[in-house]
Chain A
Amino acid sequence: EPEVTQTPSHQVTQMGQEVILRCVPISNHLYFYWYRQILGQKVEFLVSFYNNEISEKSEIFDDQFSVERPDGSNFTLKIRSTKLEDSAMYFCATNWGGSTDTQYFGPGTRLTVL
Chain B
Amino acid sequence: KNQVEQSPQSLIILEGKNCTLQCNYTVSPFSNLRWYKQDTGRGPVSLTIMTFSENTKSNGRYTATLDADTKQSSLHITASQLSDSASYICVVSAGTGTASKLTFGTGTRLQVTL
Binding site for B on A (CB under 8 A): 4, 31, 33, 41-45, 48, 55-58, 89, 91, 93, 98-100, 102-108, 110
Contacts and interface: CB of A to CB of B under 8 A. Distances in A.
A100 B105 contact: no
A43 B44 contact: yes
A44 B104 contact: yes
Contacts of B107: 42
Nearest to A48: B99
Interface string B76-92: 00000000000001010
A102 B48 CA distance: 9
Among B34, B42, B44, B105, find the residue whose CB has the most chain A CB atoms closer than 10 A: B44
A100 B91 CA distance: 12
B99 A106 contact: no
Contacts of B55: none
Contact of A43 (B41, B89, B100): B89
B62 to A, nearest CB: 14
26 contacts: A31-B99, A33-B99, A42-B105, A42-B107, A43-B44, A43-B89, A43-B104, A45-B100, A48-B98, A48-B100, A55-B98, A55-B99, A57-B100, A89-B41, A91-B44, A100-B31, A100-B32, A102-B34, A102-B46, A103-B46, A105-B43, A105-B44, A105-B45, A106-B43, A107-B42, A110-B41
